[in-house]
Amino acid sequence: GEDSRSFHVSIQAPLSTVSIGETYSITAVAGGQLILECPEDAVPPPHIEWHREGSPLQEDARRQVLAGGRFLQIQALGAADGGEYSCRATNALGDTSLRVQVEVHG
């Protein structure tokens, strides 16, 4: 007879560090929608936190964190939404962060 088995193998990989020390700049249009992505393909999946101007981001009707932190969606953009946004992804193997400077133009 035949005996077959299948195994699920999970490889631990550190977070990508290509963006450390870099600040990306994005220009958005007032009244529009902005989606920022925190690239995380690490194993185990990291814990992701979003900050705005160095303070933890407060979600509300217009600002929502999606997909477990991977995306930050801001709707009905206004000039007050401009500034520096950052995400920090942390897992057992380390952490990485990404900074995005957002400018909103009317």
The domain in which residue 88 lies consists of: 23-104
**Which is higher by pLDDT, 29 or 5?**
29
**Does any domain span residue 18?**
no
**Does any domain span residue 2?**
no
Pairing relationship of beta strands 94-105 and 23-29 according to DSSP bridges: parallel
CATH number of the domain enclosing 81: 2.60.40.10
What per-residue confidence (pLDDT) applies to 60?
96
Task: Using a pLDDT cut of 90, give the percent of the chain over it.
Answer: 40
Residue-wise pLDDT for 52-77, tens only, equals 999 999 999 999 999 999 999 999 99
**Which is higher by pLDDT, 10 or 69?**
69
**Does any domain span residue 74?**
yes
What per-residue confidence (pLDDT) applies to 17?
39
Q: How many domains does the chain have?
A: 1
Report CA-CA distances (Å) from 38 to 25, 42, 49, 72, 96.
14, 12, 9, 8, 10
What per-residue confidence (pLDDT) applies to 18?
43
**Does any domain span residue 6?**
no
